[in-house]
């Protein structure tokens, strides 16, 4: 129950990594779920837009803009995912996964634009009230918005659980959150019906505030992605995994970065200096496989092996101050 309540009120993320995972990419059912839910949200938004014209409700306008922008964010993401499948080239040696970050910037801009339009219209109507007509139709439109989002939520959650996609399940919960925003429009309409006409623009302002909260979270996530930030818990997990590999004496450096919706790791470990090159290579291979198994969404890892000298110093650590120096005998897996 606590998790369900939090899913209603917690702002949802527009981060690409939270929207698509390997299970979704590899599954035709998951891709179909995205397409169908996109069409459903667009149909809901268009129906609401027609009612906005008929009723003049600024609260419904704010909700329609929010739903429409949320639906359209799937378009640049889909393009980015298709582009991200292209193989690496001599110019783009890491591939094209960063296209998702560019899509994320577009998404943030769309959310910001929706908040500006919704906020402007709500404040204008607050100081220049306009009659809201066809209250019954307005209430019906709010219920349509709720129903449309709830249908999408149920569908995404059901398919997501069936194919094992936590991201698709999360998207379903986000759609459910948007559905409750549509219910706020119904509350505003009931306020107008009860003789409080300012209820409509006030609800519009509240929806604008909700969009700004979503914008803050989305902008933060995209900023962190562009700055190569990762969850510190992932670093802890990777470090613990490396130290658990037999033969690894210490972890000298560990770097993780997002490329699209996948993670790459680069690490340096120290081993016994008496080991031969084959044995050291085996340790590097084991470390790489352990990382790939233990770190979620890790797609590739580079493991650099350095011998630990008898004085307890690490050649790799000493060479860190001279990145152009070459270390004889070092092994990279």
Rounded Cα–Cα distance for residues 42 and 230 (Å): 33
250: CATH: 3.30.70.1350
Predicted local distance difference test score (pLDDT) of residue 284: 94
The pLDDT, as a whole number, for residue 77 is 61
State the pLDDT at residue 132: 66
221 and 280 in one domain?
Answer: no
Given a contact cutoff of 8 angstroms between Cβ atoms, the answer to whether 265 and 301 are in contact is: yes
**205 and 97 in one domain?**
yes
Give the end of a domain, one of 204, 226, 248.
226
Same domain flag for 143 and 26 = yes
Report if pTM > 0.75: no
Same-domain check for residues 219 and 241: no
Query: Could you give the number of structural domains in the chain?
Result: 2
- Where would I find the beta strands (DSSP E) of 272-317? 298-307
Same domain? 19 vs 107: yes
Q: For residue 58, what pLDDT is reported?
A: 73
**Span 216-260, pLDDT tens digits:** 777 887 788 889 888 899 999 999 999 999 999 999 999 999 887
pLDDT at residue number 30: 63
Residues 98 and 161 reside in one and the same domain: yes
Domain carrying residue 243? 232-332
pLDDT per residue over 114-155, tens digit each?
778 777 877 877 787 666 667 787 788 888 888 888 888 888
* Phi, psi (degrees; rounded to nearest 5) at 64: -65, -45
Q: 100 and 213: one domain?
A: yes
| 190: helix, strand or coil | helix
Query: Exposure of 33 by Cβ count < 10 A (0-12 exposed, 13-18 middle, 19+ buried)?
Result: buried
Pairwise CA distance, residues 56 & 211, whole Å = 20
Would you say 221 and 13 are in contact if contact means Cβ atoms under 8 Å apart? yes
Do 291 and 144 fall within a single domain?
A: no
Residues 249 and 317 in one domain: yes
Domain boundary among 226, 245, 277: 226
CB 212, CB 219: distance < 8 Å: no
Tell me, what's the pLDDT at 130?
66
216 and 262 co-located in one domain? no
Residues composing the chain: 333
Rounded Cα distance between 333 and 247, Å, is 15
**Among the three residues 226, 242, 275, which one is the final residue of a domain in this structure?**
226
Both 197 and 115 in a single domain? yes
With a cut of 50, which residues of the chain have pLDDT below it?
Answer: 4, 7-21, 23-27, 315-330
Cβ density class 225-252: b for 16+ within 10 Å, e for less: beeeebeeebeebbeebbeebebbbebb
CB 76 within 8 A of CB 162: no
User: Which CATH number covers residue 18?
Assistant: 1.20.1510
- Co-location of 169 and 84 in the same domain: yes
Strands (E) located in the chain: 250-259, 262-271, 298-307, 331-332
């Amino acid at each position: 129950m606590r998790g369900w309540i939090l899913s209603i009120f917690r702002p949802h993320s527009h981060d690409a990594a939270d929207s698509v995972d390997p299970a979704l990419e590899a599954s035709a059912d998951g891709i179909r779920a995205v397409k169908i839910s996109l069409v459903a949200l667009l149909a809901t938004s268009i129906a609401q837009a027609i009612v906005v014209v008929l009723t003049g409700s600024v609260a419904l306008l704010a909700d329609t803009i929010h739903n429409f922008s949320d639906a359209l964010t799937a378009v640049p993401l889909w393009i980015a995912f298709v582009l991200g499948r292209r193989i690496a080239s001599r110019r783009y040696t890491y591939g094209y996964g960063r296209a998702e970050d560019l899509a994320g910037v577009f998404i943030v801009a769309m959310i910001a634009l929706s908040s500006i339009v919704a906020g402007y219209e709500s404040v204008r109507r607050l100081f220049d009230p306009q009659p809201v007509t066809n209250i019954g139709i307005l209430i019906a439109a709010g219920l349509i918005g709720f129903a449309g989002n709830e249908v999408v939520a149920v569908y995404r959650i059901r398919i997501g659980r069936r194919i094992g996609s936590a991201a698709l399940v999360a998207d379903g919960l986000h759609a459910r959150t948007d559905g409750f925003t549509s219910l706020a429009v119904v509350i505003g309409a009931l306020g107008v019906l009860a003789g409080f006409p300012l209820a409509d623009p006030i609800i519009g302002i509240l929806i604008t505030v909700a969009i700004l909260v979503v914008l803050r979270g989305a902008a933060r996530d995209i900023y962190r992605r562009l700055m190569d930030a990762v969850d510190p818990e992932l670093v802890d997990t990777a470090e613990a995994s490396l130290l658990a590999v037999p033969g690894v004496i210490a972890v000298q450096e560990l770097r993780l970065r997002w490329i699209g919706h996948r993670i790459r790791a680069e690490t340096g470990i120290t081993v016994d200096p008496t080991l031969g090159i084959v044995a050291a290579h085996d340790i590097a291979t084991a470390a790489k496989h352990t990382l790939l198994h233990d770190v979620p969404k890790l797609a590739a890892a580079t493991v650099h092996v350095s011998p630990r000298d008898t004085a307890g110093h690490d050649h790799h650590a000493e060479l860190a101050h001279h990145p152009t120096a070459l270390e004889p005998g070092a092994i990279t897996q």
